Amino acid sequence: MGTARTVAPAGARTTAPPAPAALAAKVRTLAPSMTRSMQRVAEAVAADPAGCAALTVTGLAELTGTSEATVVRTARLLGYPGYRDLRLALAGLAAQQQSGRAPAVTADIAVDDPIADVVAKLAYDEQQTLADTAAGLDTVQLGAAVTALAAARRIDIYGVGASSLVGMDLAQKLLRIGLIAHAHTDPHLAVTNAVQLRSGDVAIAITHSGSTGDAIEPLRVAFDRGATTVAITGRPDGPVSQYADHVLTTSTARESELRPAAMSSRTSQLLVVDCLFIGVAQRTYETAAPALAASYEALAHRHAPRSSNR
């Protein structure tokens, strides 16, 4: 039976401060979970990085009608050790923008938009979502998750709704390179399988909100049994992170009436899944390459044109 253990808060994990390009993505991802005063600080630095980079912590607090403590807390929530580090990132972001990089914008889809406009808007939002996720993805946490997966005896993946589709995609990829991976969409079976995990196994929960109980419960059980746990989430401060050794943060395009969060979150989750898979395939190349080749060969006849006797 596994022994109980605790994980340090998300902010205490070994992480690198976000690069300047990741700042806007961080604001878009975390703003919904911030207090209103912290949102004012976050929105101010994202809207005018050059102006805010020139301000002291007191100046930014006065500009946003908040307190110095709120400014510092916002900087830390965005991934920076302190306000000084945030100012450096703002200066870097301002320099990038002055070099001619186009500002990030998101266009809502209207009910009467021509289909050509729908295609263009969706394509732009998908590109922005992928760029934001790549910019904000913590490669230290990603590398640690890849290391655990490459050596895992068994891998369990939990997700519901759109996240379950992403989980099945990851399981299929890992199976094709010879790893034992299962995606669980039934919450009862997920928990009963999690009970069987132990040290050396890996459990992954995929939940954009970070608060999906049907994904969190089996992850908690796996965590308590001693398995290495990973959360793929758009809310790194959500409840799922309490039971995750490694947190991989995704970004989403802005939700609208005709484009619910499930659509844009799936795009960023699939990018993280592909990063995990490629990382594991690299680490296990000597066994992964032959296994992948064997799976292609086994399925080749299903892709060949069918002969007809007619």
Which superfamily is assigned to 121-300 in CATH?
A: Glucose-6-phosphate isomerase like protein; domain 1 (3.40.50.10490)
Whether the per-residue pLDDT at 115 is higher than 50: the answer is: yes
Whether the per-residue pLDDT at 197 is higher than 90: the answer is: yes
- Confidence at residue 78, expressed as pLDDT on a 0 to 100 scale: 85
Q: 151: pLDDT confidence band, cut at 50, 70 and 90?
A: very high
- Confidence at residue 106, expressed as pLDDT on a 0 to 100 scale: 42
CA within 13 Å, CB half, 131: 14
- Confidence at residue 92, expressed as pLDDT on a 0 to 100 scale: 81
Whether the per-residue pLDDT at 12 is higher than 80: the answer is: no
pLDDT tens digits, residue range 46-98? 888 889 989 999 999 999 999 999 999 999 888 888 898 888 888 887 877 66
Give the range among 126-130, 165-169, 173-177 with minimum mean pLDDT. Answer: 126-130
- Confidence at residue 195, expressed as pLDDT on a 0 to 100 scale: 97
- Confidence at residue 57, expressed as pLDDT on a 0 to 100 scale: 93
pLDDT tens digits, residue range 30-40? 777 789 999 99
Q: How far apart are CA 238 and CA 167, in angstroms?
A: 19
Whether the per-residue pLDDT at 105 is higher than 50: the answer is: no
Higher pLDDT, 143 or 109: 143
Same fold: 20-99 with 121-300? no
Contacts of 89 (CB under 8 A, 6+ apart): 17, 18, 19, 20, 23, 80
How many whole angstroms from its chain centre is CA 294? 31
Average pLDDT over residues 17-22: 64
Higher pLDDT, 198 or 30: 198
Average pLDDT over residues 213-227: 97
Q: How far apart are CA 133 and CA 253, in angstroms?
A: 10
Whether the per-residue pLDDT at 8 is higher than 60: the answer is: no
How many whole angstroms from its chain centre is CA 65? 32
- Confidence at residue 194, expressed as pLDDT on a 0 to 100 scale: 97
- Confidence at residue 308, expressed as pLDDT on a 0 to 100 scale: 55
Q: 211: pLDDT confidence band, cut at 50, 70 and 90?
A: very high
Average pLDDT over residues 189-215: 96
CATH 3.40.50.300, applies to 20-99: no
Per-domain residue ranges of the chain: 20-99, 121-300
Q: How far apart are CA 10 and CA 39, in angstroms?
A: 20
Residue 187 has which token pair?
Answer: 């919450």
Residue 124 has which token pair?
Answer: 């732009």
Give the range among 39-48, 103-112, 198-207, 249-258 with minimum mean pLDDT. Answer: 103-112
Strands 155-158 and 202-207: parallel
Average pLDDT over residues 296-309: 74
Write out the chain in H/E/C secondary structure: CCCCCCCCCHHHCCCCCCCHHHHHHHHHHHHHHCCHHHHHHHHHHHHCHHHHHCCCHHHHHHHHCCCHHHHHHHHHHCCCCCHHHHHHHHHHHHHHHHCCCCCCCCCCCCCCCCHHHHHHHHHHHHHHHHHHHHHHCCHHHHHHHHHHHHCCCCEEEECCCHHHHHHHHHHHHHHHCCCCEEEECCHHHHHHHHCCCCECEEEEEEECCCCCHHHHHHHHHHHHCCCEEEEEECCCCCHHHHHCCEEEECCCCCCECCECHHHHHHHHHHHHHHHHHHHHHHHCHHHHHHHHHHHHHHHHHHHCCCCCCC
- Confidence at residue 113, expressed as pLDDT on a 0 to 100 scale: 78
Higher pLDDT, 119 or 240: 240
The model carries a pTM of 0.71
pLDDT tens digits, residue range 243-288? 999 999 998 655 555 566 556 688 899 999 999 999 999 999 999 9
Query: In this structure, are residues 178 and 291 in contact, taking their beta carbons and an 8 Å threshold?
Result: yes
- Confidence at residue 68, expressed as pLDDT on a 0 to 100 scale: 93
